[in-house]
Amino acid sequence: MNFIVSSSTLLKQISKIAGVIPSRPVLPIIENFLFDIGDSTLTVSTTNLEISMQTTVGIETRGNGIKVAVPSKILLDILKALPDQPITFVVNEENFSLEISSDNGKYKLSGENGLDFPKIPTPENTQAAVMPAKTLITALNKTLFAASTDEDKAALNGVFFNLGPDSVTFVATDAHRLVRYRRLDITVSEPTSFIVPQKALNLVKGAFDNNDESIRIEYNDNNAFFRSQSILLVCRLIDQRYPDYENVIPTDNPNRLLVSREDLFGTLSRVNIFANKTSHQVRFKISGSELQISGEDLDFANEAKENLKCHYEGQDMEIGFNASLLREVVKNTPTEEVQIQLSSPNRAGIVLPATQEAGEDLLMLVMPVMLNSYGG
């Protein structure tokens, strides 16, 4: 059988799902794209057995439907090298070889029986939530950076989705910092929660790039399904209990600091160069309308100190932070000024944007580090 498809359209769509394909597959066949050729639609699937993706492309077809596994690397390479044009695929139904015809020539490659490709999970007994793609991508951009990469902390290796009748909340933490992003304008009737792995969500960010689309998220005890008009991503959920993150957020924070985000980020970047390379410890000394940030590496006699203008309400305080962790939190604050709320030197600092967008509530938290005895 054969079908005709736009080379650029096919490349665009399969590039969105190619990130799932493993470099060291458990099963050799999952190094391929699965082509499921229908009457007027080509469905292309990829999987690494933990995460699966599908996309659909419109085609002109002649012949009966067939499933064929197509080598991913060579297909991507030839599509990238071809100019935009209609191309014809001819599939040999006996040995699953393929011939691609373009304006310039013909290219042959060997395929495999698509019936041997692992089945993609289908939604069963699921609940669902719908949100704009832009909202979901914003939530992931604001949270994913804080998730843990420590494989011994499996529950923290993803983003916690907490969906309810009043709001939907996305949480990520590595036990040293935490981000809670809440949307008050999106709700579900039946409260539920689950943990989605980081890798799957990074693929979601790359695949669902049409901000005008809505994303339907279906979920059950085992899997989450992210679906748009042309893309489906299925991933296995992390089967762990997420820590009670609300308990680590201090509620009484009378000391409040308002400072330029750009200035604070720059100071942290420079002072961190001189701080201890293991702890990245920097000292915040807040007094009146001045914030002094200093760092020292006693092993090499390196030291740095900078003063920043700020607006501060509260008692004079000295508190230590990991400059690398705090810098990344500050970087992900979306406003020109950053508000830092503090209770005491041994309790977490709350980092907030100076203003919140309508319908959203962003809170970031950084745990303090015990200060060394050197003077500020």
In the predicted model, what is the mean pLDDT of residues 319-326?
97
pLDDT at residue number 65: 84
* CA 167 – CA 359 distance, rounded (Å): 9
The alpha carbon dihedral of 78, 80, 82, 88 has a sign of positive
Residue type at 58?
G
Query: What does the pLDDT look like over 118-141, one tens digit per residue?
Result: 999 999 999 999 999 999 999 999
Confidence bin at 275 (pLDDT 50/70/90): very high
CATH 2.160.20.70 is held by the domain 2-116: no
- Please give the Cα distance from 95 to 91 (Å, whole number): 9
Residue 39 identity: D
- In whole angstroms, what is the distance from residue 28 CA to residue 313 CA? 62
pLDDT, one tens digit per residue, over 219-228 is 999 999 999 9
What does the pLDDT read at residue 104? 87
pLDDT at residue 209, as a whole number: 75
CA–CA separation, 144 vs 366, rounded Å?
15
User: Where, residue-wise, is CATH 3.10.150.10 in the chain?
Assistant: 2-116, 127-165+186-241, 249-369
CB atoms within 10 A of CB 221: 10
**Helices then strands, each counted (H, E), the chain:** 6, 28
pLDDT of 257 > 70? The answer is yes
Quick one: 2 exposed, middle or buried, by C-beta within 10 A (0-12, 13-18, 19+)?
Answer: middle
Q: pLDDT digits over 83-106, tens only?
A: 999 999 999 999 999 999 999 899
pLDDT band, very low/low/confident/very high, at 63 (cuts 50, 70, 90): confident
Specify the length of the chain in residues. Answer: 376
User: Averaged over 223-249, what is the pLDDT?
Assistant: 96
pLDDT of residue 64: 74
DSSP one-letter code for 359: T
CATH of domain 249-369: 3.10.150.10
Cβ 331 vs Cβ 265: under 8 Å: yes
Phi, psi dihedrals of residue 313, rounded to the nearest 5°: -125, 115
Q: What is the pLDDT of residue 93?
A: 92
Q: Which CATH number fits domain 127-165+186-241: 3.30.70.20, 3.10.150.10, 3.30.420.110, 3.40.50.300?
A: 3.10.150.10
Radius of gyration of the chain (CA): 26
Calculate the alpha carbon distances from 278 to 9, 273, 282, 296, 299 in Å. Answer: 48, 12, 12, 12, 11
Question: Which pLDDT score is estimated for 210?
Answer: 67
> Which has the minimum average pLDDT: 85-94, 204-213, 244-253, 321-330?
204-213
In this predicted structure, what is the pLDDT of residue 68? 98
Query: CB of 172 within 8 A of CB of 147?
Result: yes
Residue whose token pair is 């197509």: 70
Calculate mean pLDDT across residues 195-211.
91
**CB-based contacts of 12, cutoff 8 Å, min separation 6:** none
- Angle 169-172-173 (CA atoms, 0-180°, nearest 5)? 140
The first and second tokens of residue 82, run together, are: 């071809």
Give the mean pLDDT of the chain: 95
**List of residues 6+ apart from 87 with CB closer than 8 A:** 4, 5, 6, 7, 10, 100, 101, 102
Q: What is the mean pLDDT of residues 12-29?
A: 95
Cβ atoms 329, 344 nearer than 8 A: no
Residue 288 pLDDT:
86
**364: which strand partners?**
179, 351
pLDDT above 90 covers a percentage of the chain that reads 93
Q: Is the pLDDT of residue 376 over 80?
A: no
Q: Could you tell me which of 208, 233, 229, 202 has the C-alpha nearest to residue 219?
A: 233
How far is the C-alpha of 364 from the C-alpha of 139, rounded, in Å? 13
Print the SS3 string covering 44-101: EEEECCCEEEEEEEECEEECCCEEEEEEHHHHHHHHHHCCCCEEEEEECCCCCCEEEE
Those residues whose C-beta lies under 8 Å from the C-beta of residue 242, and which sit 6 or more positions away, are 155, 160, 171, 193, 195
- Identify whether the C-beta of residue 160 lies closer than 8 Å to the C-beta of residue 195: yes
